[in-house]
Structure formats: C-alpha cells, structure tokens
Structure 1
Amino acid sequence: MTTPICFPDLTSRPLNLKVERQMDAPPDVLYQAWTKQFDRWFAAPGSVIMQGEVNTVFFFETVFKPESHSEAQRHPHYGRFLRLEPDRLIEITWVTGEGGTKGAETVVTVELEPHSNGTLLHLTHAGFPDEESRNGHEHAWPFVLEQLDKQMLPGT
C-alpha cells in the first residue's frame, strides 16, 4: 500500500462529524463513485480532475442556485487522496472556501461495509475550523449521500 506524503495536522481543529447511511449500491460501485466518478453524483459535469490514487490531487466544483440569488454559485473543492483500500476505504483531504471548510484542509474518511444487498457507509469528516463549518457539513452530508445512492443505482 502506498503511504501518503503527509497527513494534515488536525490537533488544533478537533471538530468533526459522523454520518452513517444504509446504501442500496454495492461497495465496489460506491468505491468507484468516490475515486473516479464524482461528476456522476456530486460534481458539475466536466469539472472533475481526478486520478483516484494515493498522493494524487483532485479538483471539482459544484454549482448551486439558492432561491435568494439570481445567479448560480460555483463552489470549488480541492483535495488529495490519503488512503485507499479498494471497495472498503477512501480517505481524502477536503478543502473548500467560504461557506465550506473556509480554506481549512479537513479529512473525509469513508468506510464501506457490505450489508444486506447493499452497503453500510460510515463517513467521518474531521478538522473543521469552527462550529459553523461543521454544522453546515453535518446538514449537507446526509443529502449528498442520498444523491450518491440514487445516482449510482443501475439504470440511472
């Protein structure tokens, strides 16, 4: 297994969250979604730069149009792959701007456990700079995981 160049030091940013969801998609499909197919379920189509290998960086953006705005807002996401265990574990850094991680390099760990006919997904997001950032992600991740499961089902 490839060793990551450097893990972020989160000791001064201990705020984190955990989300668990029973997914209909199997572990291998979810693993591919997190390492190669962000534009199928989360990122704006055509915005993904991603190799899905330890020590490689990635970029994608999301586009969202809040009701209070007349124009869509783009939200760049940056990171790097820290640990990968095919069909079992994805660990990445996660950096976004205002309204997200506020430029802090956080860590997202996704554990995939075969369960029934699908997958029990455990997501931990650690290293938030403040409670506002953590709370926003705590609200968003369940919705994002719901979209992941819907988009990765066969025929979608």
Structure 2
Amino acid sequence: MAASPGVLFIALTEGFDTWFAAPGKIVMRPREGEPFVFQTLHEGRFHSHYGRFVKLIPDRLVEMTWVTGDPGTRGAETLVSFDLRPAEPGTALRLVHSGFEDAESVARHESAWETVVLPHLDAVTSAVGPAPAVT
C-alpha cells in the first residue's frame, strides 16, 4: 500500500465511508468492543455489514468481527485482521479473513479483497498525506 500505516489505520477505523461503506450509511466508532453497522452499495443494492472492533493498536493492527447475509458470510461471524507494518514507500498490509462456514464464501471474499476492495483502499488512501501522530 502506498499510504502510511497511520493513514490506513484511520481509513480502517474512522474513514470506512471514504472507501468502502456508502456515504451516510455507517455507524462506527473506533473502540475495542464497540459494535458497528454499515451498508455498501453494489449493483444497485445495499448490503448490510455488522461487527465489532476486537483489537485496535494505533497504526499497527485492526481486528474486527464481520457478519453479512447471503451471499457474503451467510450470517457467520467472521474475523478480519489488518496488520500494518511500515515499508518503503508506504505500508505492508497483511489481511486475514477467517471463520467462514463454507469454501464458496472463502473464495468469494478472497477474490473481492484482492481484486476490488484492497486496490480501492490503496487508490483512495494513496492520495492522502501523512496521518497525524496518535498520542
């Protein structure tokens, strides 16, 4: 990813509606244990996503549960982990999405993260300057 870990951390915790959720269709506060809900708009339909933040380490780690309907996680509570490490010229991002109940859901999410979601996150955040220091 071209952006710094700080910029990505903010995008993953406070700025979901700048790159993933539909504008105005999100309730999310970056606190461990805090539930969230947002909707995405895909092919003319809104898709609800639910979860809670499990672990937050500023500029380093975002872990959240992730629940969607069919054809997403099919109601299974999955875990998404974004591990952020400084790397030239930006960030090495390691994403792990686990807890699926069937291989079809795994394949669909792998494809979406790799070909659509993460490239879009990179494009949106690469245009942002350095994040303010977290104190």
Superposition pairs for residues 114-129 of structure 1, below 5 Å? 114-129=86-101
Q: State percent identity of aligned pairs.
A: 49
Greater RCO (Cα-Cα under 8 Å, separation 6 or more): 1
Distance 1:91 1:155 in 2: 23
**Bigger helix fraction:** 2
Q: Does 1:39 align with 2:39?
A: no
CA contact (8 A) 2:7 2:128 kept: no
Normalization by structure 2: what TM-score?
Answer: 0.92
Q: CA deviation at 1:154?
A: 2.8
Task: Describe the superposition over 1:15-48 as per-residue Cα deviations: whole angstroms up to 9, x where unpaired.
Answer: xxxxxxxx00110000001110000000100111
- What is the match of residue 24 of structure 1? 2
Distance 1:126 1:155 in 2: 29
Q: CA deviation at 1:106?
A: 0.2
CA contact (8 A) 2:3 2:128 kept: no
Distance 2:31 2:121 in 1: 20
Amino acid at match of 2:31: E
Q: CA deviation at 1:155?
A: 5.7
| Secondary structure at the counterpart of residue 26 of structure 2 | coil
Q: Which runs of 5+ in 2 are unaligned?
A: 130-135
Cα distance, 1:38–1:85 mapped onto 2, change above 3 Å: same
Larger Rg computed on CA atoms: 1
Q: Does 1:148 align with 2:121?
A: yes
Q: Which runs of 5+ in 1 are unaligned?
A: 1-22, 66-71
One of 103, 113, 129 as aligned partner of 1:131: 103
Equivalent residue pairs, number: 128
Cα RMSD of the aligned pairs, angstroms, is 1.2
Distance 2:104 2:127 in 1: 36
